Amino acid sequence: MKNLKLIWLVLLTIFCVGNIFGQRTKTLKPNFSGTWKLDIDKSTFNENFSKYFKRNEPLICLGQLRIIHKEPKLKIKESVYCYTKDKPETKINEINIEDGIFYTDARGEKNNVPDYMISSTKTKWSGNSIVLRNELSKSFINEYYLSEDKKILTKKTYNPSNGNQTLVYYLSSN
């Protein structure tokens, strides 16, 4: 009887130790939530984006990116507009770049995005970056990633038709 108890105790110990050491540590993904303001000086724009803002007078451009991120759901609303120094109340060519709900588990999503024809995307993690791939044109990709201190968000757009661009945002509020 004592031998049977000892065998059970040894097996239980082996099982517990095996589970403790055999578990993989879950990598925590960054949270992209916040209101982000466009840093126009650190951003580079493609030709398609730039054509909306070509004017003879100097323009001041503002951009905002709002993200609500509760894994795997990601709600993104992004817009950019410009105005002239003498008429700050008049928005020139406001562009709604991204407006939709995305899921980082690659289930796929359909969004009606104003000003653009992106309607069907697949979103997934790539390391600590979130990648949105247009399902109609597999080569159109948006990649979002955060700086180490999580105060800078960079959005890289890969678009063979209009050229690539990089939009850099700084955290305005959580």
Q: Which CATH number characterizes residue 163's domain?
A: 2.40.128.20
CB atoms within 10 A of CB 118: 21
Residue 8 lies in a domain: no
Using CA atoms in the order 117, 122, 125, 130, what is the torsion angle rounded to 10 degrees? 10
**pTM for the complete prediction?**
0.75
Residue 21 lies in a domain: no
Number of domains in the chain: 1
pLDDT digits (tens, 9 = 90+) for 71-113: 999 999 988 877 777 777 777 666 666 778 999 999 999 887 6
Residue 17 lies in a domain: no
Residue 6 lies in a domain: no
Report how far apart, in Å, the C-alpha atoms of 28 and of each of 31, 59, 106, 127 are.
9, 41, 18, 10
pLDDT digits (tens, 9 = 90+) for 125-164: 999 999 999 887 777 899 999 999 999 999 998 888 778 8
Residue 23 lies in a domain: no
Longest CA pairwise span in the chain (Å): 95
Residue 1 lies in a domain: no
Residue 111 lies in a domain: yes
Q: Which range of residues forms the domain containing residue 136? A: 35-173
Residue 93 lies in a domain: yes
